[in-house]
């Protein structure tokens, strides 16, 4: 209580110095509707009282929900060691490595992250991360336009609609010709993609697995693109790469994706990181930072900023991008996660996701009038058609403690009854069973 008393005494002293009796008189010239709410705060509380109030407020969140929501962001298990490493003060207080000789630890962490992402994607070069998966995809498109000097981008309909909205928002005032090609049975429509290719096309943007969870081998599209001098861009789900054909094997020129699933909590939407990897011949068109390993004149190992293509590095209008920072702490978490899991551990996580999703499909198929869309293979995410509006069903299930998935009607007007369901290694057999039983209850009771 002494803190509150001191604060009150300080306020009285300030008012006396100003020559006014109270705060209302001090701010009398400001209309009431324009006054900040801070000037009408209740009396101060002790630390214990504040903690109790905040705990009660936080308890109103749906923290108890069993999560089957995906759509590009996933509820994966995070080893405790990831938090312990990222929580070290020398990492979480280090903003940016402008002075390499003083930032060797941060630079090495970024270098190791880049190396891990190259191995994961089977690409030759990785940058030091971007803001998130959507901005990484936008930067890849800009990169393709710079490399080819062409204005047209073909976007596959299976690309995450959130990413597509970001892409069109970022380029609203640029002279870029975007051409969307709808999917066919959940996969890329080869015939329509190939028909759209021409001499003005800079790149084709693909996603694997796509937004509907469908797995697709885009090797044939990449080969057709290369025959016409067109770049192939692919957004990928890093956990799935433990089992699926990598972008490098597919012949992709620029691989991007969201790194949230690599040791980052969902955290109400961020911060996350966008990764980008490419081939060496495109490295000078790549935005962001690139850290390299070298030796000094005494033969001692050191780490440096090899390419500095950002506008903050005196590039100005010649910069590859105006991305002003990289998500270094998030990238550190991603590298820590990959190092702790190892190659086999990552495969085990991916296999659990795949197998549990298959079990969830079987449980949901057993519910009358529920149809699981199975025209194409999927990884850990799949689409379900319900007999009622999916958003309505999801709302009722949330009240019963289960977040059942992503209602597709939000982005696809003709898919109001469709639900996108994601299953990660965290979901137990019991939780999947409870999901199926709760959905059946909601559908039968209305």
Phi/psi class of residue 36: alpha, beta or left (left: φ > 0; alpha: ψ in -120 to 50)?
beta
> Percentage of the chain surpassing pLDDT 70?
93
What does the alpha-carbon distance between residue 184 and residue 227 come to, in Å, rounded to a whole number?
Answer: 24
Q: Take residue 315 and report the two structure tokens written for it.
A: 């590039």
pLDDT at 166 over 50: yes
The lowest-confidence range among 56-65, 293-302, 330-339, 396-405 is 56-65
What does the alpha-carbon distance between residue 224 and residue 193 come to, in Å, rounded to a whole number?
Answer: 10
Beta bridge partners of 236: 208, 257
* Per-residue confidence (pLDDT) for residue 95, from 0 to 100: 66
What does the alpha-carbon distance between residue 279 and residue 161 come to, in Å, rounded to a whole number?
Answer: 27
What does the alpha-carbon distance between residue 440 and residue 400 come to, in Å, rounded to a whole number?
Answer: 12
User: Three-state DSSP class for 278?
Assistant: strand
Confidence band of 90 (pLDDT split at 50, 70, 90): confident
pLDDT at 3 over 50: no
Mean predicted confidence (pLDDT) in 209-214: 97
Q: Take residue 444 and report the two structure tokens written for it.
A: 């039968």
Summarised one tens digit per residue, pLDDT across range 379-397 is 999 999 999 999 999 999 9
Is there a contact between 231 and 254 (Cβ–Cβ < 8 Å)?
Answer: yes
Domain range annotation of the chain: 2-47, 66-75+342-445, 80-338
Tell me the pTM. 0.87
38 alpha carbon, distance to own chain's centre: 34
* Per-residue confidence (pLDDT) for residue 269, from 0 to 100: 87
Query: Taking the CB of residue 418, how many other CB atoms lie within 10 A of it?
Result: 21
Summarised one tens digit per residue, pLDDT across range 394-444 is 999 999 999 999 999 999 989 999 999 999 999 999 999 999 999 999 999
* Per-residue confidence (pLDDT) for residue 427, from 0 to 100: 98
pLDDT at 4 over 60: no
Mean predicted confidence (pLDDT) in 333-337: 97
Summarised one tens digit per residue, pLDDT across range 125-146 is 999 888 999 999 999 999 999 9
Domain 80-338 belongs to what architecture?
Answer: 3-Layer(aba) Sandwich (3.40)
pLDDT at 38 over 80: no
Mean predicted confidence (pLDDT) in 68-80: 97
What does the alpha-carbon distance between residue 316 and residue 333 come to, in Å, rounded to a whole number?
Answer: 31
Helix residue spans in 197-327 (DSSP H) = 219-227, 247-250
Topology (CATH level 3) of domain 66-75+342-445:
3.90.1150
Is there a contact between 268 and 301 (Cβ–Cβ < 8 Å)?
Answer: no
pLDDT at 2 over 50: no
Q: How far is CA 85 from CA 78, 92, 241, in A?
A: 12, 9, 24
Q: How far is CA 250 from CA 139, 220, 232, in A?
A: 21, 8, 10
């Amino acid at each position: 209580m002494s803190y509150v008393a001191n604060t009150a005494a300080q306020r009285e002293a300030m008012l006396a110095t100003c020559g006014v009796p109270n705060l209302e008189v001090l701010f009398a010239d400001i209309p009431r509707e324009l006054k900040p709410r801070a000037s009408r705060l209740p009396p101060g509380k002790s630390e214990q009282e504040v903690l109790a109030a905040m705990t009660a407020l936080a308890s109103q969140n749906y923290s108890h929900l069993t999560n089957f929501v995906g759509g590009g962001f996933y509820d994966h298990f995070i080893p405790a060691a990831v938090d312990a490493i990222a929580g070290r003060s020398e990492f979480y207080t280090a903003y940016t490595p402008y002075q390499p000789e003083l930032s060797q630890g941060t630079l090495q962490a970024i270098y190791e992250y880049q190396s891990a992402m190259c191995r994961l994607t089977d690409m030759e070069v990785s940058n030091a991360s971007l803001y998130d998966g959507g901005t990484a995809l936008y930067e890849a498109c800009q990169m393709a336009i710079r490399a080819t000097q062409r204005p047209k981008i073909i976007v596959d309909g299976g690309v995450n609609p959130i990413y597509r909205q970001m892409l069109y928002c970022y380029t609203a005032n640029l002279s870029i010709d975007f051409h969307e090609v709808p999917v066919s049975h959940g996969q890329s429509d080869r015939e329509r993609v190939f028909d759209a290719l021409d001499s003005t096309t800079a790149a084709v943007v693909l996603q694997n697995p796509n937004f509907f969870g469908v797995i697709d081998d885009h090797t044939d599209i990449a080969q057709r693109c290369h025959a016409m001098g067109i770049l192939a861009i692919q957004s990928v789900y890093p956990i799935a790469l433990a089992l699926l054909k990598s972008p490098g094997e597919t012949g992709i020129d620029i691989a991007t994706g969201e790194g949230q699933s690599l040791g980052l909590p969902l955290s109400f939407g961020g911060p996350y990181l966008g990764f980008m990897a490419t081939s060496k011949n495109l490295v000078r068109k790549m935005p962001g930072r690139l850290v390299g390993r070298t030796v000094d004149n005494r033969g001692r190992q050191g780490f440096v900023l090899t390419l500095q293509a950002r506008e903050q590095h005196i590039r100005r209008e010649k910069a590859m991008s105006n991305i002003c920072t990289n998500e270094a702490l998030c990238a550190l978490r991603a590298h820590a996660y990959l190092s702790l899991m190892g190659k086999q551990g990552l495969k085990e996580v991916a296999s659990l996701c795949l197998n549990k999703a298959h079990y969830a499909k079987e449980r949901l198929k057993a519910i009358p009038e529920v149809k699981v869309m199975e025209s194409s293979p999927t990884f850990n995410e799949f689409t379900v058609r319900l007999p009622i509006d999916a958003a309505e069903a999801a709302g009722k299930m949330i009240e019963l403690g289960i977040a059942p998935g992503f209602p597709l009607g939000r982005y696809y007007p003709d898919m109001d009854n469709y639900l996108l369901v994601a299953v990660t290694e965290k979901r137990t057999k019991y939780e999947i069973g409870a999901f199926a039983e709760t959905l059946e209850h909601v559908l039968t009771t209305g």
